[in-house]
Structure 1
Amino acid sequence: MIKRRLYVEERESRMARWSFRLALFSVPVIILAAALYRFGALDFRPALVTLGAGLGLAVLGAVLAVCACVSVWESGWRGMGRSIGALAIAVGVVAGPAAVLARGAMLPPLTDISTDAVDPPHFRALGIARPRTANPTTYPGESAAALQREAYPGIKPVDLDATPDEAFNAVLALVQKRKWRVLDAIPPRGGLRDGQIEAVAPTPLLGFRNDVVIRVRATPKGGSRVDVRSSSRYGIHDLGENAMRITSLMADLAAERRKH
């Protein structure tokens, strides 16, 4: 007598499969958006839309993953591993942008920060190089300055016990160390001309471009004053990036001068 074996098919959750696919697919979409923008193949707005699509896929994958976990737990189907994997990928993708947006929500909607709001450094080379679709290079005025003073009271000029030439060279070295793209660097000429450096500073991960102008001016006592202005090329909110950029540069400059 031939005995027949009974095979029981163990079903797999379709939600678990799709949650993993969506979460996994969000990663190359975001990488592609950043790469195409960095290499100039995409303008800011299309790149932002593509980035948003990637984040949306990750969020959708996370929602499906949670639903799949509940479904798998109740039905006993396979797919718990895929669901947890999808959730881990989605959290990894969304956590960084979510933290930046949460921080930005507590800050005023500024895109142009300057250590000198009365006489801010002016963009010259960048005023020509900046695309027409970008934010204007004109400083926004007293209303923005008031918001800046309230949100970032520590953004101030740095006075150095160094000649303008020494201060200019120290700042230029820090800019080059950060690998910002220098468009213009005019050294100071005694009390006749201010030194000025203009550079493009991309954000670390996505490469969004920000324009920076640094002014080195002689002081009456023989020292020098350094002013920095950082402006987002696009958007209506810098999420605090410009203030952090200026603060970091000024802190490094003060530390560098303490070594001498």
Structure 2
Amino acid sequence: MIKRRLYVEERESRLARWSFRLALFAIPVIVLAAALYRTGVLDFQLALATLGAGLAVALVGAILAVVACVSIWESGWRGMGRSIGALAIALGVVAVPAAVLARGAMLPPLTDITTDPSDPPRFRAMGLVRPRTANSLVYAGDTAAQLQRDAYPGIKPMDLDATPDEAFNALLALVQKRKWHILDAVPPRGTLRDGQIEAVAPTPLIGFRNDVVIRVRPTAKGTRIDVRSASRYGFHDLGENAMRISSLMADLTAERRKR
């Protein structure tokens, strides 16, 4: 007697397979957007569109992964591990942008933040390199100043018990440590001239450019530091400029405490 064996083919979920492919594909799309923008091949709008496409692909992959998990749970097909992997990759890709957007939704649409709205530090060298399509370097005025005060009450000038030269050198070292691209660095000259540093600060991932000017002004008791950070493109900085100023001021305070 010939014994017959029944072979049951365990099917693999196509949704799981495609979710994993899409989640993986989103990574090189985002990397490509960053690389092409940093090298100047893409302008801001195209880089932003490419980045958005990569995030959209990751989001679709995450949705398919959830659907695949439910389908596999009910059918018993193979692919649960691939679905969970796709979901993890997709969430890892979209988590940071989603958090930034969520934070920005609660903030006013500002692109130019300064510690001194009544007399903001003025960009000089930056005007020679900024593209014509970029945001204006002229400060927006009282309306923007009031929005800034309401949203970022902690953005204020810093008074130091130090000479202007000491403050200028400390700030220059911090800017270099952050690997910002310095366009101009004019040291202070007593009461005749304020010290000023102009630099371009790229965002960590894509490298979107933000322009920073730091003013070092002598006072009767030492030195006053003012900082201005402006997004080169867009209508909303999502809070990045205020965070950049706060971080720089915090680092300067920490450096002064070491001495």
TM-score category of the 2 structures, normalised to the smaller one: over 0.9
The match for 1:244 is 243
The match for 2:145 is 145
Structure 1: how far apart are the matches of 2:239 and 2:72?
A: 42
The match for 2:32 is 32
The match for 2:62 is 62
The match for 2:102 is 102
TM-score, L = length of structure 1: 0.97
TM-score, L = length of structure 2: 0.97
Q: What CA deviation, in whole Å up to 9, does each residue of 1:210-257 have, x standing for no partner?
A: 000001111134x11110000011111111110011011111112222
Instruction: Quote how far apart the aligned CAs of 1:259 are.
Output: 2.7
Partner SS state of residue 200, structure 2: strand
Structure 2: how far apart are the matches of 1:163 and 1:69?
A: 64
Range moving further from structure 2, 35-44 or 243-252:
35-44
Structure 2: how far apart are the matches of 1:258 and 1:207?
A: 31
1:133 counterpart = 2:133: yes
TM alignment of 1:205-224, pairs within 5 A: 205-221=205-221, 223-224=222-223
The letter of the residue matching 1:28 is P
Q: What CA deviation, in whole Å up to 9, does each residue of 1:55-74 have, x standing for no partner?
A: 00010001111111111111
TM alignment of 1:79-90, pairs within 5 A: 79-90=79-90
The letter of the residue matching 1:240 is G
The letter of the residue matching 1:242 is N
Range moving further from structure 2, 193-202 or 36-45:
36-45
Structure 2: how far apart are the matches of 1:148 and 1:227?
A: 15
The match for 2:252 is 253
Q: Cα RMSD over matched residues?
A: 1.1
Q: What CA deviation, in whole Å up to 9, does each residue of 1:25-84 have, x standing for no partner?
A: 001111111121122221111111010000000100011111111111111111111111
The match for 2:160 is 160
Partner SS state of residue 12, structure 2: coil
Partner SS state of residue 225, structure 1: strand
Range moving further from structure 2, 6-15 or 53-62:
6-15
Structure 2: how far apart are the matches of 1:95 and 1:259?
A: 36
The match for 2:230 is 231
The letter of the residue matching 2:118 is V
Unaligned runs of 5+ in 2: none
Instruction: Quote how far apart the aligned CAs of 1:3 are.
Output: 4.2
Partner SS state of residue 155, structure 2: coil
Partner SS state of residue 227, structure 2: strand
The letter of the residue matching 1:238 is D
Instruction: Quote how far apart the aligned CAs of 1:4 are.
Output: 4.3
Query: Percent identity between the aligned chains?
Result: 81
The letter of the residue matching 1:40 is G
Instruction: Quote how far apart the aligned CAs of 1:12 are.
Output: 1.1
Structure 1: how far apart are the matches of 2:54 and 2:185?
A: 38
Partner SS state of residue 252, structure 2: helix
1:183 counterpart = 2:183: yes
The match for 1:48 is 48
Instruction: Quote how far apart the aligned CAs of 1:2 are.
Output: 4.6
